[in-house]
Structures are given as structure tokens and as C-alpha cells.
Amino acid sequence: MVDISAIGSALASLKAAKDIAEAMIGLRDAHAFQAKMIEFQSRILDAQNSAFAANEERTALIDRVRELEKQVTKAEAWAAEMQRYELRQLPPSIFVYALKPDMAAGEPMHYICANCRSQGKKSILHGYGVSDGLETFHCDGCKSDWTTGYFRAPPERQRYAED
């Protein structure tokens, strides 16, 4: 907020300078005139300093508003991006965010890490394949690994009778 006292001080200095200038007009004595001229210049400098201080504060406030607007824009973009995902539970109790099929817009279906999402990061989980009914995912963001699914014992191999 602009410092009203700085603006008030500038106006007060300018009024005092005007009063001094009016008093100078009536002076005939060179010494008295010189003293009033010095006082006049001092008041003008005070007014300029107050105006500069108010301008610096205004510039700082404009910069702060600009920074806050960037933060709001970034937060809005993040919120819009996260609306594309829904929380899912994979067996046995692994929570991930899955891309909603109607929000894919050409992207392949994928999961993002719930831990990274809670920290404001979008980290896509990478699958390492399925083995015996279990699938392992890795998050590059937080370096976590999760195994999901239900274990299925591999079928027994047929034994060949020896002749």
C-alpha cells in the first residue's frame, strides 16, 4: 500500500515552498532573500525525496502484484491439470491418480504418483511389467517403487516321461 504519509509529506513540502516563494517576492534585502532561497530549495528537495520514496514503494508494490499474479496463474493451471485425474486404489492398497479417460485428449492412459502430487509435482509412474499377476511401478520423482495386483502362482511345468 502506498505510504500516504510520504505523499502528504511531499504535498506539505510543496505548500511550504510556495509560502516561502511568496515571502521572497516581498523581500528587498539580498541577505534575507538568500536565506529564503536556501529554505525554498530545501523544501523542494524534501518534496522530491518524498515523491521518490512514494514512487519506490509503488514500484515495489507493482512488482509484488505481478509476482502474486504469476503464482495465481500457476496455481490455477495446476488445479486445471489435476482435474484431469482421479484417485484410484490399486490392489492391495496402493493409491495413485489415474488419468480420466474423457480427459486424455490423445494422451495414453497413465498413473501419477500420489505422493508427488501432494507436493505439487506431476510424476508419471513407469511400469516394469507384469509377473505372476503382480505389476511393479516406479516413480522418478520420489524414487518410490510399488507392487500391485494379486499373486498368482505360475502353472506347474509338465513333466515329460522318460522313455
**What string of pLDDT tens digits covers the 163 residues of the chain?**
556 777 777 777 777 777 777 776 666 667 777 888 888 888 889 889 988 999 999 999 999 999 999 999 999 999 999 999 999 999 888 999 999 999 998 999 999 999 999 999 999 999 887 777 789 999 999 999 988 887 777 777 655 555 4
CA torsion angle 8 12 14 19 (round to 10): 160
pLDDT at 12: 79
According to DSSP, the β-strands at 145-149 and 134-139 are antiparallel
Element holding 113 (H helix, E strand): strand 111-113
pLDDT at 163: 46
Distance of CA 27 to the CA centre of its chain: 61
pLDDT at 15: 78
pLDDT at 88: 95
Buried b (16+ CB within 10 A) or exposed e, 63-98: eeeeeeeeeeeeeeeeeeeeebbeeeebeeebebbb
Spatial distance between the Cα atoms of 149 and 163, rounded to a whole number of angstroms: 41
pLDDT at 118: 92
